[in-house]
Structure 1
Amino acid sequence: MLNAILHFLESTGFYGITFGHVIMIAIACVLLFLAIVKGFEPLLLVPIAFGVLLTNLPFAGMMAPPVLEIHENMVHTVEPGGLLYYLFQGDHLGIFPPLIFLGVGAMTDFGPLIANPKSLILGAAAQFGIFITFIGAIASGLFTAQEAASIGIIGGADGPTAIFLSSKLAPHLLGAIAIAAYSYMAMVPIIQPPIMKLLTTKKERAIHMTQLRDVSKKEKILFPIIVTIVVSLIVPPAATLIGMLMLGNLFRECGVVGRLEDTSKNALINIITIFLGVTVGATASAENFLRVQTLAILCLGVIAFGIGTASGVIIAKVMNKFLRVPMNPLIGSAGVSAVPMAARVSQVIGQQEEPGNFLLMHAMGPNVAGVIGSAVSAGVLLSLFGG
């Protein structure tokens, strides 16, 4: 009887819990607090935080791989493995992030970008944060080129792209990179405004912009087709993300596949968001997360995000030197691909200086350009370091 009681006690999570587990469970609770109470990107942070919680419960085995044995040239399953291990294969094999892009494409109006092609420059400028941070990560001596590339992509403020790239180049850092990427996406309204105000004058922030021209349906249909062909020919590794993004957008704009559009931007993206979030969080086990590298990733990530924001604003100011009709440089900060939060921040800061200033649609141009830019940047890094 005593042995049975001892055996039961040793099988409980309390027996196997470590200080590292306690820290990670506390981190999960903080993320849940930020998502639920503070409203920071709850659709992403709630499943990610709960994934962190689940993977750090001792003996639960949610991410345990199956135990196999070979007998008479036949593979037999001794233990089937944890639920999240199997769902995680969607991250590991690069399936979930492109499906997220399919849904994003179905929800995104590329009209502001088509109406103002100069927005592409601002979207490209915001990608400087990716490559400058990549150089910084290499210079730190803590990371390989593949790891540095995965960290740098945080600067694009695009969670699915960060997951897609790190799953291929540095899967062991996936949890830290994903949590950093989504946390900073959620904190766009906190991180960006001080940078935007520091780099612009009151007069610049009050610049009014003329209404964008109407974009025809033909233009909107041709845009995803042309972008897919051109980008995929220039950077083939970007075809997966760009192709899914543009397919979703074609569903939206062609007007003949309403059911596919509705599924892509509602049911499908919601299901994949649950799977992606929980499994990404589940990679943040205590032994993988509580390392010096993780702290470095969090620091480099916020630097990357800040540089990306600053680059867009600075390039907008430079462009104004050559434009007959100046643009409000605040929209340059929206070049990071946190859609549509970054565009909303531009709108809010603009209206603080001039209540009659409406920058949202103008900011959506560089914002959606940033989505394309981050996918292309990921393709470039994958082609350089994917081996």
Structure 2
Amino acid sequence: MWLVAGGLLYLAVFKKFEPLLLVPIAFGALLANLPTQNMINSPAGPVLSPVDGTVIVSTVSLGQDITMPAVVHEMPASIGKLTSKSEAEELLLSQFEKAKQDGQRLLYVIRPDSPESFAVEPEYSEIKVTIDSTPVTLRNTDKLVWASASGSVSELDAEVGDKVVKGAELLTVHSSHTGGFFHYISLGIVLELFPPLIFLGVGALTDFGPLIANPRTLLLGAAAQFGVFATYAGAMGSGIFDSSQAAAIGIIGGADGPTSIFLANALAPELLAPIAVAAYSYMALVPVIQPPIMRALTTEQERKIRMKSLRQVSRLEKLIFALVVVVFCILLVPAASPLIGLLLLGNFLRECGVTERLSKAAQNELINVITIFLGTSVGITMTGDRFLRTETLAILALGIVAFGIATASGVLMAKFMNLFSKNKINPLIGSAGVSAVPMAARVSQVEGQKADSGNFLLMHAMGPNVAGVIGTALVAGYFMTVFGSGH
């Protein structure tokens, strides 16, 4: 993981690939893989049940001490996450033995009322272990509850045989030590605060005029979302990921880092680190990934198409547009409210003309501070046992596929629209339907000028670019509605 962090720093510093985010992410990843103190550790407190179910095993007693190791490794959420029976037996027996000593981490085994089905079925359904001379039969769907902080057990609320509901307190761990700095900073991701605040800044930085002046480019932003759904289907078909994880991976195709983080935290927090790194890495590689696809799908004649100059959009039109879009989108997909609401609030602050100080604060101080905290909080989740997995390589591979399909879909949609339009669209701006603002629009401009040095596509490309931002947020809200719980 030190090599991974070093590689990200190299790309950010020397290759200048999305440095504002890759530098904090890489530095956070380095901190995550060092035996730090008072940085990442969780505070002692209540331990909650992850599911509705029955307590099958309890390894704790009142007053017992729990001591966490200096470097805390991620532990499986259920027995079936251990792919072999021998591995499961070895882990459980070692943890049951540690229950008699300090350093114990496994607290409970809970049998869910509604067992989940595994994306990859383990080779076993049950295992038998002996705890204090008592044989116990455990199922691969049984949930494991681990300690997350050092301290002593001050309250014991659940014992073997008790029925518990999701979120109920199982026990309380007391300690005089508070949690580490990044435990509290990372709550900005856990509580879904940072991505909407980033959207506030993006809205304040973005001019929606090109989209209003040429509304048909909205279709190009919508077409780019094909990459999201195609990748969702691919992730499901791989047999590695469940539906929630596949949805979180698919959103990488939107090339929108904050939205990817927002959705991953809601649907698949265990995949947050690789999804965030993939999303921001591919955003940084837009100038490398998109041009070959754009050139392969267009002729030189198409790349030379000059589009008519956009009309001047009035301030009133922009204000009405912001209000209409926020009402329509939230009524359509309520789960997208935090992203869409803050995006259009930022844009309204920009365009209304009476909140210049607030608009500048959102564009500069706010978005800069949140970017630092967002990046380092993502990096802090990149521990070796979370990141160095087969799933990470699969996510990176699916991410590049998502990006490629999204780019191609936008270009092909523009070509399709030209079949029925007198005012031709340069297909190069279709690639800007991915919501990497404004980098994707700049790539369209650069490729257009390679074919015709007098062609200016930047403002035309901003239309599908900002449409892509809205489209990706709506797709994320749709996925949260379909696959999320409690949203």
Could you tell me the TM-score, scaled by structure 1's length?
0.92
CA distance in 1, matches of 2:175, 2:471: 44
> Match of 2:19?
42
Q: Which amino acid aligns with 1:63?
A: I
Residue by residue over 1:36-59, the C-alpha shift from the partner in whole angstroms, topping out at 9 and shown as x without a partner, is 111111111111111111101134
Are 1:261 and 2:261 counterparts? no
- 1:75 to partner: Cα distance: 6.8
1:229 to 319, 323, 327: 327
> Match of 1:239?
337
Q: Which amino acid aligns with 2:324?
A: I
CA distance in 1, matches of 2:294, 2:154: 64
Runs of 4+ in 1 over 6 A off after TM superposition: 72-75
CA distance in 2, matches of 1:341, 1:309: 13
Q: Which amino acid aligns with 2:387?
A: F
**Equivalenced residues, count:** 364
In structure 1, the residue corresponding to 2:175 is in which secondary structure?
A: strand
CA distance in 2, matches of 1:164, 1:173: 12
- 1:79 to partner: Cα distance: 2.9
CA distance in 2, matches of 1:77, 1:218: 57
CA contact (8 A) 1:130 1:152 kept: yes
CA contact (8 A) 2:218 2:463 kept: yes
Residue by residue over 1:280-299, the C-alpha shift from the partner in whole angstroms, topping out at 9 and shown as x without a partner, is 01111001001110000000
Residue by residue over 1:324-365, the C-alpha shift from the partner in whole angstroms, topping out at 9 and shown as x without a partner, is 111100000000000000000000000001000000000000
- 1:84 to partner: Cα distance: 1.2
Are 1:341 and 2:318 counterparts? no
CA distance in 1, matches of 2:40, 2:400: 29
| Superposition RMSD in Å | 1.3
> Match of 1:284?
382
Higher helix share: 1
Higher relative contact order (CA 8 A, sep 6+): 1
> Match of 1:194?
292
Q: Which amino acid aligns with 2:13?
A: I
Residue by residue over 1:116-170, the C-alpha shift from the partner in whole angstroms, topping out at 9 and shown as x without a partner, is 0011100000010000000100000000100000000000000000000000000
CA contact (8 A) 1:48 1:281 kept: yes
CA distance in 2, matches of 1:254, 1:70: 56
- 1:78 to partner: Cα distance: 3.6
Residue by residue over 1:296-340, the C-alpha shift from the partner in whole angstroms, topping out at 9 and shown as x without a partner, is 000000000000000000000000000011110000000000000
Residue by residue over 1:178-198, the C-alpha shift from the partner in whole angstroms, topping out at 9 and shown as x without a partner, is 000000000000000000000
Are 1:54 and 2:31 counterparts? yes
In structure 2, the residue corresponding to 1:67 is in which secondary structure?
A: coil
Could you tell me the TM-score, scaled by structure 2's length?
0.73
Are 1:163 and 2:140 counterparts? no
Are 1:120 and 2:218 counterparts? yes
- 1:82 to partner: Cα distance: 2.0
2:399 to 287, 294, 301: 301
> Match of 2:408?
310
Are 1:376 and 2:438 counterparts? no
> Match of 2:186?
88
Which region of structure 1 is more displaced relative to structure 2, 64-73 or 373-382? 64-73
CA distance in 1, matches of 2:196, 2:205: 14
Q: Mapping of 1:116-155 within 5 angstroms?
A: 116-155=214-253
Q: Which amino acid aligns with 1:208?
A: R
CA distance in 1, matches of 2:253, 2:213: 26
Residue by residue over 1:256-279, the C-alpha shift from the partner in whole angstroms, topping out at 9 and shown as x without a partner, is 111111111111110000000000
- 1:70 to partner: Cα distance: 5.4
Q: Which amino acid aligns with 2:43?
A: P
CA distance in 1, matches of 2:238, 2:249: 12
Higher strand share: 2
Are 1:33 and 2:10 counterparts? yes
CA distance in 2, matches of 1:176, 1:62: 21
CA contact (8 A) 1:55 1:61 kept: no
> Match of 1:17?
none
CA distance in 2, matches of 1:59, 1:382: 35
CA distance in 2, matches of 1:171, 1:123: 27
CA contact (8 A) 2:44 2:173 kept: no
Instruction: Give structure 2 stretches of 5+ with no counterpart.
Output: 46-151, 157-171
CA contact (8 A) 1:206 1:350 kept: yes
- 1:366 to partner: Cα distance: 0.2
> Match of 1:355?
453
Q: Percent identity?
A: 62
CA contact (8 A) 1:28 1:53 kept: yes
In structure 1, the residue corresponding to 2:310 is in which secondary structure?
A: coil
2:44 to 67, 80, 90: 67
